[in-house]
């Protein structure tokens, strides 16, 4: 009798102990993952911070690591991203409006929806092969800024569509009904009432999608963006390189001085990304406050 | 009347934009298929799929894709060994244990982890993780499958974690309450009630993570080496399908040659593989949504 009670309380104690250990273990693993991020940043900063300078930001590529800079790659990245946004945002928002506001629940909208979910998970390098076959060769755009931006636009389109749909879904139905009650047509309702309310949400999603695109390397390498371009792009037909490709180029060299350059390039890229993300989060917070 | 026609035109314009996404899929399949067929006209499909030697750039080329497939599977498997247990545990913690403040602190950091460009992870794998591992494992080559595999696992962890967490959050509260009422502890409830109940959603997350690992390019292109090799040894240089495409794209292989078409054939294989995984994952996610709708 006593033994049974003792055994039971031992089992209970073990259960309790496990119950305490488990979240500690889980939290430990989470912290390890976060520590990895810390290690990454510390490693890159330690390797590259000393190389950061105004000359590095405004310099052009060079065979001597100490003279090389990133101006051509930085301008290339900014140019590509602006063009990508200009191509992808109107089409993405239009698609989302169609699916959210117009489409009847039918076969077509179902196909388009499944298709977009699938496209969002296609590896980015496949988009590179598409860009190579379609834009660079079939449409004869060559290895230009336009071909690169078109490829990236197709890549970010699913992300923009999905986030825009979220934003449109968050707009209360009463706004639409009020507009209809005043005699507005469907498009007038969407354009004058729904879109302005959804705009901050759409902007947030777009910035996040573009910040994903600015770090993309593989598709642009595949369409043949050059790894050695000695000038900043001056038009949509100009050959180009981008920051991630320049970093990749430097990492792949055996000399240590070039790897220092790569680390410095990474710092610039991460700062650019953080700025875009912070803007997106700031917009999201403002948006949430306004709705509640 | 004019207004009515305008409305009609707008609706069609919007529909055409929506159709573009279907066109993208069609474009991908078309571009890959055309080049792959041209490739298969010269190389028998059995040689391509079951050959054990991949030397397309040699004087006497051989086009067996298995070494690239094994490289891809090896790196992805290592990545999943890291991402699955860690991602699941952190999802359980975030969904079942963490209070509001902890979640608000951790989730943005996980988002940042997911948003770091892959070229940066490649740098990290080659110049930080591999040298670190070399201190512990003496036989480790400078380029290997282990370092990039681990880093890829860290990269995918947030995806596994956030999708699994969504699935667990979708499990109704009543199941948990029932479990507590029967005297189960929090851990027993999490592992034996919530986890099985969210199973299809978690499986969907894992499959999507595998698909992401297979398609990941820059980490392996930088840190895994470029030697196609049929091996399960994680300590030596290997080459993945994606890294091969990058390797050819960087060189100056002339267009229209057989070597050039190999990247489309390899790309086709990659696309078909990830496409099937994505479809299964989407189907499973649909299912758990219905289960607790």
* pLDDT 10s digits, B238-291: 999 999 999 888 877 777 788 888 899 999 999 999 999 988 888 888 777 666
Chain A interface test: which of B11, B14, B23, B106 (most A C-beta within 10 Å): B14
Length of chain B: 293
What pLDDT shows up at residue B1?
66
Average pLDDT score over chain B: 88
Confidence of residue A288 (pLDDT cuts 50, 70, 90): low
Q: How far is it, in rounded angstroms, from Cα B48 to Cα B63?
A: 5
How many beta carbons lie within 10 A of that of residue A209, not counting itself? 26
- What CATH topology corresponds to B66-291? MetI-like fold (1.10.3720)
Confidence of residue A242 (pLDDT cuts 50, 70, 90): confident
Q: Are the beta carbons of A44 and A256 closer than 8 angstroms?
A: no
Q: How far is CA B63 from CA A283, B46, B60, B221, B265, in A?
A: 52, 10, 10, 20, 10
Residues of A in contact with B128 (CB under 8 A): 39-40, 43
What pLDDT shows up at residue A270?
92
The average pLDDT across B23-29 equals 92
The average pLDDT across B162-189 equals 90
Torsion of CA B272, B278, B281, B285, to 10 degrees: -150
Structure tokens at B221: 């292109």
Q: What DSSP element (H or E) covers B287?
A: helix B258-291
Average pLDDT score over chain A: 86
What pLDDT shows up at residue B159?
92
Locate tokens 């749909």: which residue?
A165
Residues of A in contact with B21 (CB under 8 A): 95, 112, 115-116, 119, 157-158, 161
Closest Cα to residue A122, out of A202, A215, A210, A219?
A: A219
The string of pLDDT tens digits covering residues A62-74 is 777 777 788 888 8
Whether residue B217 and residue A124 make contact (CB cut-off 8 A), yes or no, is yes
Task: List B residues 158-187 in contact with A (Cβ-Cβ < 8 A).
Answer: 185-187
Locate tokens 């860690």: which residue?
B86
Whether residue A29 and residue B17 make contact (CB cut-off 8 A), yes or no, is no
Q: What DSSP element (H or E) covers B147?
A: helix B146-169
- Chain B, nearest residue to A155 by Cα: B24
Question: Does the pLDDT value for residue B181 go beyond 90?
Answer: yes
Residues of B in contact with A134 (CB under 8 A): 27, 31
- Chain B, nearest residue to A267 by Cα: B120
Compute the count of residue pairs across chains A and B with CB atoms less than 8 Å apart: 246
Question: Does the pLDDT value for residue A228 go beyond 70?
Answer: no
Q: How far is A251 from chain B (nearest CA, A)?
A: 7
**Is residue B132 within 8 angstroms of chain A, CB to CB?**
no
- Chain A, nearest residue to B24 by Cα: A154
Confidence of residue A174 (pLDDT cuts 50, 70, 90): very high
**Is residue B286 within 8 angstroms of chain A, CB to CB?**
no
Residues of A in contact with B122 (CB under 8 A): 248, 251
What pLDDT shows up at residue A69?
80
Whether residue A19 and residue B187 make contact (CB cut-off 8 A), yes or no, is yes
Residues of A in contact with B257 (CB under 8 A): none
The string of pLDDT tens digits covering residues B162-174 is 999 988 988 899 9
φ, ψ of residue A252 to 5 degrees: the values are -70, -10
Question: Does the pLDDT value for residue A7 go beyond 80?
Answer: no
When mean pLDDT is compared across A136-150, A172-186, B246-260, the lowest value belongs to B246-260
Question: Does the pLDDT value for residue A289 go beyond 70?
Answer: no
DSSP 8-state secondary structure symbol assigned to residue B126:
I
Whether residue B120 and residue A33 make contact (CB cut-off 8 A), yes or no, is no
The string of pLDDT tens digits covering residues B99-141 is 888 888 888 888 888 889 999 999 999 999 999 999 998 888 8
Residues of B in contact with A88 (CB under 8 A): none
For helices B100-115 and B146-169, give the axis angle rounded to 10 degrees.
140
Please say whether the dihedral angle defined by the alpha carbons of residues A39, A43, A46 and A50, taken in this order, is positive or negative.
negative
Question: Does the pLDDT value for residue B53 go beyond 60?
Answer: yes
Q: Which residues of B192-220 are buried (b: 16+ CB within 10 A; e: fewer)?
A: ebbbebbebbbbbbbbbbbbbbbbbbbbb
**Is residue B119 within 8 angstroms of chain A, CB to CB?**
yes
Domains of chain A by residue range: 2-51, 57-291
Q: How far is A1 from chain B (nearest CA, A)?
A: 22
The string of pLDDT tens digits covering residues A32-61 is 888 888 999 998 898 888 888 887 887 777
Whether residue B217 and residue A125 make contact (CB cut-off 8 A), yes or no, is yes
Q: How far is B27 from chain A (nearest CA, A)?
A: 7
For every residue of chain A, DSSP letters joined together read -HHHHHHHHHHHHHHHHHHHHHHHHHHHHHHHHHHHHHHHHHHHHHHHGGG--HHHHH----SSGGG---HHHHHHHHHHHHHHHHHHHHHHHHHHHIIIII--SSHHHHHHHHHHHHHHTS-HHHHHHHHIIIIIIIT---SBHHHHHHHHHHHHHHHHHHHHHHHHHTS-HHHHHHHHHTT--HHHIIIIIIHHHHHHHHHHHHHHHHHHHHT--HHHHHTT--S---S---STTSB---HHHHHHHHHTSS-HHHHHHHHHHHHHHHHHHHHHHHHHHHHHHHHHHHH-
Its CATH class, for the domain covering A57-291, is mainly alpha
What pLDDT shows up at residue A30?
85
How many beta carbons lie within 10 A of that of residue A12, not counting itself? 11
φ, ψ of residue A224 to 5 degrees: the values are 95, 30
**Is residue B265 within 8 angstroms of chain A, CB to CB?**
no
Q: How far is it, in rounded angstroms, from Cα A117 to Cα B66?
A: 30
Structure tokens at A50: 């000393």
Confidence of residue B293 (pLDDT cuts 50, 70, 90): low
- List residues bridging with B109 in a β-sheet: none
What pLDDT shows up at residue A93?
94
């Amino acid at each position: 009798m006593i033994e049974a009670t003792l055994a039971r309380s031992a089992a209970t104690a073990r259960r309790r102990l496990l119950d305490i250990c488990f979240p500690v273990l889980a939290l430990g693993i989470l912290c390890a993952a976060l520590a990895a991020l810390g290690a990454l940043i510390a490693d890159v900063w330690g390797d590259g911070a000393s190389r950061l300078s105004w000359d590095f930001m405004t310099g052009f590529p060079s065979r001597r690591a100490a003279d090389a800079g990133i101006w051509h790659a930085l301008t290339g990245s900014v140019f590509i991203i602006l063009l990508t946004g200009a191509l992808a945002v109107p089409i993405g928002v239009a698609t989302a409006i169609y699916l959210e506001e117009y489409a009847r629940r039918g076969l077509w909208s179902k196909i388009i929806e499944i298709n977009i979910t699938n496209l969002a998970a296609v590896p980015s390098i496949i988009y590179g092969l598409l860009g190579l076959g379609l834009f660079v060769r079939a449409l004869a755009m060559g290895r230009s800024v336009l071909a690169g931006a078109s490829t990236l636009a197709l890549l970010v389109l699913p992300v923009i569509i999905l986030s825009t749909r979220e934003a449109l879904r968050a707009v209360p139905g009463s706004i639409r009904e009020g507009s209809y009650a005043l005699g507005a047509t469907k498009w007038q309702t969407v354009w004058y009432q729904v879109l302005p309310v959804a705009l901050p949400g759409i902007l947030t999603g777009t910035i996040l999608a573009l910040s994903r695109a600015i770090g993309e390397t593989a598709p642009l390498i595949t369409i043949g963006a050059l790894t050695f371009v000695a000038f900043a792009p001056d038009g949509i037909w100009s050959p180009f390189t981008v920051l991630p490709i320049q970093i990749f180029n430097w990492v792949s060299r055996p000399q240590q001085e070039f790897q220092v350059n790569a680390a410095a390039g990474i710092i610039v890229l991460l700062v650019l990304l953080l700025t875009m993300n912070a803007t997106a989060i700031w917009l999201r917070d403002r948006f949430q406050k306004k709705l509640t | 009347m004019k207004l009515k026609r305008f409305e009609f035109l707008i609706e069609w314009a919007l529909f055409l934009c929506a159709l573009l996404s279907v066109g993208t899929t069609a474009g991908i399949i078309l571009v890959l298929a055309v080049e792959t067929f041209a490739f298969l006209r010269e190389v028998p499909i059995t040689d391509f799929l079951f050959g054990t030697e991949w030397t397309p750039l040699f004087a006497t080329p051989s086009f067996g894709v298995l070494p690239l497939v094994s490289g891809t599977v090896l790196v992805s498997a290592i990545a999943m060994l890291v991402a699955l247990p860690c991602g699941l545990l952190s999802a359980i913690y975030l969904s079942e244990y963490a209070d509001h403040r902890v979640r608000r602190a951790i989730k943005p950091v996980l988002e940042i982890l997911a948003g770091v460009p892959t070229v940066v992870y490649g740098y990290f794998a080659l110049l930080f993780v591999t040298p670190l591992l070399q201190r512990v494992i003496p036989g480790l080559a400078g380029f290997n499958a282990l370092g990039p595999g681990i880093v890829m696992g860290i990269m995918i962890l947030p995806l596994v974690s956030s999708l699994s967490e969504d699935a667990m959050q979708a499990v109704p509260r009543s199941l948990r309450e029932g479990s507590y009422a029967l005297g189960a502890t929090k851990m027993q409830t999490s592992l034996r009630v919530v986890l099985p109940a969210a199973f299809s959603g978690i499986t969907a997350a894992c499959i999507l993570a595998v698909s992401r690992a297979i398609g990941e390019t820059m980490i392996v292109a930088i840190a895994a080496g470029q030697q196609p090799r049929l091996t399960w040894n994680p300590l030596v240089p290997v080459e993945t399908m994606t890294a091969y495409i990058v390797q050819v794209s960087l060189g100056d292989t002339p267009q229209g040659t057989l070597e050039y078409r190999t990247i489309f054939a390899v790309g086709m294989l990659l696309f078909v593989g990830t496409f099937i995984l994505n479809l299964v994952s989407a189907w499973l996610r649909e299912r758990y949504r219905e289960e607790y709708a």
